[in-house]
Chains A and B, each alone.
Chain A
């Protein structure tokens, strides 16, 4: 690993796991972890108490290790981590987003678990269905991006910048699924799913208590009142993800049997 632009501005450090094996052998997980930690510690010494943000460029060497690297970086108490999907030059430099995205989602999930802040850059809405809140667009890149024909079917077409021109040339529409209300998982639905992943078969009352607990306060921020929870639950029932049953404890909400495959299909797991 090298420190490509150590202090690009006051607060941001950009880390890049280079493919140049002559500099550092990155093919071993332990090296990436170790070197990431080492550089961040160096930066911390330089920046002192002010802290700094880390922009992490995703490449073919580090993408499978993103959750682990995220853990390492966040353990170092940095202010903010941004996972950047930069322009691919050729198929050797970066795999298609479909292969990478699971690791990005896992990284965000981990950050949320420990109440940390992770954003992504240059990843379009269709890969971030349940993670829209963690997207960051960079206006400087707009000119080098475009959209494809099926993007017009997507409900985020107007606000989405699309993908790198070079990406379309390399991979075409592979893995691109326009977001429609049918396959959409909203932020509130994501919140309810997260609660059910923690406690399947939960009463409405306990769900309402949990949503305002410290554990879920970040992902439940969109709820104006607890009616959102009921509406969200009923939407998830319509989408075939969960079910509810009236019991002595009121309605009890739980996943359907094949929920894992449904959530995976919708980009949640």
Chain B
């Protein structure tokens, strides 16, 4: 991997703000976009502009459809789905999870399993089912501060009434990687479905949905160098066929019959029955370009390079006083994002992020601090967001460098030396 050449693909990295160089460590929130993706999206706005979804037959519409369906096929290849019909475009991971939670046919005696480490987007759609008494229980597996994933707890929590397990493939706080294949096996033996949240996993690791045998997989394209406002729901085709459409309207039906003063819609098969209304065609085209770009670098190359980064970061971090790592210090068990809490509880983690953004003379180091949409976990580990507390997160991607990590750690040292002055 030629990092210098790769960095050259990202226009934002050339930008200077107040004359300062950008060090972007907020990739778990959203990744930067290469020129190739920007160009692909511009192509739609400069050359196409038309409706897709096979609504119109003219040339602009036809070309829009062709490129969009190619993008769908790119996703299919990226995750090794059986067919492109298993790929549904959504706005983001959140919408994809809501689509599943609102479309599955739950029975009132059934339950759903989540963990305390889950993102609000994974947790709340199922909480709403519980709150509306659509399911009997939302079971929460407690994950400790070290982020350790105890597969036995999943087995213990599962019973014959468990309809679905919501599984986070990589945590957005601890970086914990889940043993997805094993969980799917246990769940399926129990007659339970598995929905995998791949938002923090897919950008960094190879996934094969057929190999792990997951029932649903959701992720966002904007974390994989693609456009914002684009997400994906993968579902096994027979399950998608059984799901009721969540958002309905134009583009989802074969016909809406009218007889004796009544209408009866006939929905199209997946994926069309889930993609109501005019879609984000520029975003879909940009999504295909993003996956192509990442594939060209090689997802295994990305994984290996990022492992070097996180190993180096963990090593430098271990030499610091006054900070506590959240999640495992074993780089094999974690992804390339990294969170910690301050031992000085008089100081808000927001101050670290603010210091990194405004303090350094030559750099703007962009990280994130707070509860990262995982409030239950932060309450559980005693750093309540309501008390002005939380954790600090630096999340890496393949365009980051060892030198950037050194700069970050040096500035963190400076910050800690002031707040820990005795």
Contacts and interface: CB of A to CB of B under 8 A. Distances in A.
B418 A226 contact: no
A233 to B, nearest CB: 8
Given A203-B347, A209-B387, A225 B418 contact: no
Contacts of B388: 204-209, 226
Contact of A203 (B346, B358, B418): B346
A209 B348 CA distance: 10
Contact of B354 (A205, A212, A234, A248): A234
- Cβ-closest 6 pairs across A and B: A208-B388, A250-B347, A250-B351, A205-B388, A205-B348, A204-B348
Contacts of B390: 226
Contacts of B369: 227
B419 interface: yes
B354 A225 contact: no
A168 interface: no
Contact of A226 (B347, B350, B355, B420): B350
Interface in A131-170: none
A227 B350 contact: yes
Given A206-B388, A208-B388, A230-B353, 11 more contacts: A204-B388, A205-B348, A208-B350, A208-B387, A226-B350, A227-B353, A247-B419, A248-B419, A249-B347, A249-B419, A250-B348
Contacts of A227: 350, 353, 369-370
Contact of A230 (B346, B354, B387, B418): B354
Interface in A222-247: 225-227, 229-230, 234, 246-247
Contact of B346 (A207, A225, A226, A250): A250
B389 interface: yes
A117 interface: no
A103 interface: no
B94 to A, nearest CB: 15
B421 interface: yes
Nearest to A212: B386
Interface in B349-376: 350-351, 353-355, 358-359, 369-370
Interface string A61-80: 00000000000000000000
A234 B359 CA distance: 12
A85 interface: no
A246 B415 contact: yes
A255 interface: no
Contacts of B387: 205, 208-209
Contacts of A206: 388
Interface residues of A, number: 20
A234 B18 CA distance: 14
Nearest to A231: B354
Interface of A: 203-209, 212, 225-227, 229-230, 234, 246-251
A204 B421 contact: no
Interface of B: 344, 346-348, 350-351, 353-355, 358-359, 369-370, 385-390, 415, 418-421
A240 to B, nearest CB: 16
Nearest to A249: B346
Nearest to B355: A246
17 contacts: A203-B347, A206-B388, A209-B386, A209-B388, A212-B386, A227-B350, A227-B353, A229-B350, A230-B350, A234-B354, A246-B351, A246-B415, A248-B420, A249-B347, A250-B344, A250-B346, A251-B351
A203 B388 CA distance: 10
A248 B354 CA distance: 15
A172 to B, nearest CB: 41
A204 B348 CA distance: 6
Most buried by A among B353, B354, B358, B387: B354
A153 B167 CA distance: 53
Given A209-B387, A250-B346, A204 B351 contact: yes
B395 to A, nearest CB: 16
A208 B386 CA distance: 8
A242 to B, nearest CB: 14
A209 B353 CA distance: 18
Contacts of A203: 346-348
Contacts of B418: 246-248
Contact of B389 (A205, A229, A247): A205
Contacts of A205: 346-348, 351, 387-389
A226 B385 contact: yes
B67 to A, nearest CB: 35
B389 A225 contact: no
A208 to B, nearest CB: 3
Contacts of A207: 388
A234 B79 CA distance: 43
B350 A204 contact: yes
A185 to B, nearest CB: 21
B50 to A, nearest CB: 31
Nearest to B373: A225
Contact of B419 (A209, A212, A226, A250): A250
A227 B348 CA distance: 11
A249 B370 CA distance: 17
Nearest to A252: B351
Most buried by A among B347, B350, B385, B387: B350
Given A226-B370, A234-B354, A248 B348 contact: no
A203 B358 CA distance: 17
Nearest to A208: B388
Nearest to A225: B370
Contacts of A234: 354, 358
Contacts of A251: 351, 354-355
Contacts of B389: 205
Contacts of A248: 344, 346-347, 418-421
Contacts of B351: 204-205, 246, 250-251
A205 B353 CA distance: 13
Most buried by A among B351, B355, B385: B351
Nearest to B420: A248
A212 B384 CA distance: 12
Given A225-B370, A227-B370, A249-B346, A204 B419 contact: no
Nearest to A229: B350
Nearest to B368: A227
A153 B63 CA distance: 44
B11 to A, nearest CB: 24
